[in-house]
Amino acid sequence: KLNSEYALVLDSDKLGNFEIAGAGYTKLTISVKTPFGGHSGLDIADSKRLNAAKVISEIISKIPQGVYKYDENDESTVTSINLGSIIAGGVENALYQAVKAAGLLSGWKDAAREMQWTGYNLFVKLNQRVFGGTGKVGRFEELTLTVGDLENPPGMEVVRVDAEHVEVRWLEETSARRCREDDHLGAVLLREEDGLGMAVPKIGDWQRKHCRAVIRLPTEEGKSYEHLFCYFCSADGKRFSRSRYFYMNI
Q: How confident is residue 92, by pLDDT bands cut at 50, 70 and 90?
A: low
pTM across the whole model: 0.63
| Angle separating helix axes 94-101 and 105-113, nearest 10 degrees | 110
- What is the residue-averaged pLDDT of the chain? 80
Buried b (16+ CB within 10 A) or exposed e, 22-52: eeeeeeeeeebeeeeebeeeeeeeeeeebeb
Can you tell me the distance from the alpha carbon of 148 to that of 150, in angstroms, rounded to the nearest whole number?
6
pLDDT digits (tens, 9 = 90+) for 193-230: 767 788 898 888 999 999 999 999 887 766 788 899 99
Residue 229, strand partner residues: 188, 245
